[in-house]
Chains A and B, each alone.
Chain A
């Protein structure tokens, strides 16, 4: 009954390569509002995103929406949990499991 993200309409998809955890780090980094003194480049696969307070609920929504729109990865609501957002690596594992299960998009 719920869609992954009703806020995002399926406009022309921008395709984004999502072949490695590094690609995912770039995507996550682009959704964080970096402040002064914070360097986006420092995001590593094991960066503790939640502990460092880098992700709020809006950033999480945007990451989920971007994965869907730009990389065709539609994570179900059941995967939008803290365990999958602790680090980029954790989210990458969830993406890989989701892909292996055949859940590419629609």
Chain B
């Protein structure tokens, strides 16, 4: 077992494999292929170039680029330079990227030639000065752009003064929250997964999700840990389950981690049942509930190929796991399993005491993040909790409700706050709501997750004279597509409770309701 103290840096995983397996393929994307020796050399050279423009310990760098070899090289090079690095999504509106950059205290963005124009827009919005930001070219079609921040953010405490990784989550304040992870936080999970899945240098890991998504730390760093090959799926295929199945075949993928939404699509529209990729050796899912009858079908189709259920908020990486029994059936309750090696899970009641009943899931151990970056500063929201073994630990209160059995298996029940999962993405309804409220033509608004028959949909009820279409068009300029409401319902007034609070339960259940009229409806909804 690897202990916390000897967990290597993420970029050291790459360097080690470049020594152990120099000629093995490290990265494949379309017709491009990089061996470990080639990737390591490119990363080392780019790290030097980055140092020349100011990258180093204490500096926070965003990588704003579509998924590709240059993006992976940029992430590793920033880590090698000792910086904290944040993958950013080019599909996000520049205004949101600018907020993320400001919030995380990013002082340098790296981008590809293709995304240079939108990156400039984001940098201009994020910076203080209105002039053209300083920028310059780098190797591999990359560019650097400097964010003219009002003031340098407060330095980060150890261990992230020596670098780290930032992933963003939807935040209730309307600002995406930067989740600051140390090298160890990410590497611990990557090494655990490599061991548990039995990865070797002959494996080919299919990487389908955007690098902003936490599950992809497996694709990059578990591969590097053993000298396996990361196969990057072209972004264009992501919306087409049939193409994903074809790609798994063509690329002879042996290990694959994805959200249930994609697995659902591969089975229902992608022809997975008729063409189970013969190379597939191990697979995992996580991030949202799997439809039970489809999960049962996958277990039949996969036979003795191990299929894992992974759970974990971005703040802790995947922190529990359960290897699905091949004979599991849809009528059985599904567990998220036990803590991964070195991670302790506890369920605490409202008074903070361990309970055998339902309570909030708390996570402790080497995967627990350092804190959120807001306004450039680090805020550690973890709590000190005493687990049932009597040990007091620094723990992250997940906001997920569940229970834990005597043998340590955890069962999820739901959320305690305003967060929902839609198509694998964690979305804070208040984040969406604050974007709606920011629109000048909206007086007030409430954003809710709908009950049946619209389960899984997010609707915005807005007091506005504008049309649904206009509001959606405005929202598209400030929210990523994954966060757009499914419907915008213009209303004369929002229903309220006697407390004066918006009656969100009524809105969630109110099936169609094109108009919620004031006064009378308000009373009847109480």
Contacts and interface: CB of A to CB of B under 8 A. Distances in A.
Contact of B476 (A35, A51, A60): A35
Contacts of A82: 236-237, 239-240, 243
Chain A: number of interface residues, binned into ranges: 20 to 34
Contacts of A36: 473-474, 476-477
Interface string A32-54: 01111100000000000011010
Interface string B469-507: 000111011000100100000000000000000000000
Contact of A2 (B238, B239, B269, B473): B269
B517 interface: no
Given A2-B269, A80-B269, A81-B243, A51 B236 contact: yes
Interface string A70-87: 000000011011100110
Contacts of A78: 242, 271
Nearest to B270: A77
A55 interface: yes
A33 B91 contact: no
Nearest to B262: A57
B393 to A, nearest CB: 40
A36 B473 CA distance: 6
Interface string B258-272: 000000010011110
Binding site secondary structure of chain A: loop
Contacts of B242: 77-78, 80-81
B476 A57 contact: no
A56 interface: yes
B10 to A, nearest CB: 29
Contacts of B477: 35-37
A2 to B, nearest CB: 5
Contacts of B481: 33, 56
Contact of A77 (B91, B271, B423): B271
A33 B476 CA distance: 8
Contact of A53 (B91, B423, B473): B91
Contacts of A81: 240, 242-243, 246
Interface in B241-279: 242-243, 246, 265, 268-271
Nearest to A86: B236
Contacts of B268: 2
Nearest to B268: A2
A55 B236 CA distance: 10
B239 A55 contact: yes
B269 A50 contact: no
Nearest to A32: B476
Contacts of A33: 472-473, 476, 481, 484
Nearest to A50: B236
A36 to B, nearest CB: 5
B240 A80 contact: yes
A51 B66 CA distance: 11
Given A56-B481, A57-B239, A82-B240, A77 B269 contact: yes
Contacts of A2: 268-269
Contacts of B484: 33
A81 B245 CA distance: 11
Contacts of A77: 242, 269-271
A53 B246 CA distance: 21
A37 B269 CA distance: 34
B15 to A, nearest CB: 35
B243 A34 contact: no
Q: Which of B236, B237, B265, B270 has the largest number of chain A CB atoms within 10 A?
A: B236
A51 B91 CA distance: 11
Nearest to B482: A56
B493 to A, nearest CB: 26
A37 B93 CA distance: 12
Contacts of A57: 238-239, 265, 423
Nearest to A48: B236
Contacts of B238: 57
A80 B246 CA distance: 13
Nearest to A56: B481
Contacts of B91: 53
Contacts of A80: 240, 242, 269
Interface of A: 2, 33-37, 50-51, 53, 55-57, 60, 77-78, 80-82, 85-86
27 contacts: A33-B472, A33-B473, A33-B484, A34-B473, A34-B476, A35-B476, A35-B477, A36-B476, A50-B236, A53-B91, A55-B239, A57-B239, A57-B423, A60-B239, A60-B240, A77-B269, A77-B270, A78-B271, A80-B240, A80-B242, A81-B240, A81-B242, A81-B246, A82-B236, A82-B240, A85-B240, A86-B236
**Top 6 A-B residue pairs of the complex, sorted by shortest distance between their CB atoms:** A35-B476, A57-B239, A50-B236, A36-B477, A77-B269, A82-B240
Given A35-B476, A57-B238, 13 more contacts: A33-B476, A33-B481, A34-B476, A35-B93, A35-B473, A36-B476, A53-B91, A55-B239, A57-B265, A57-B423, A60-B240, A81-B243, A82-B240
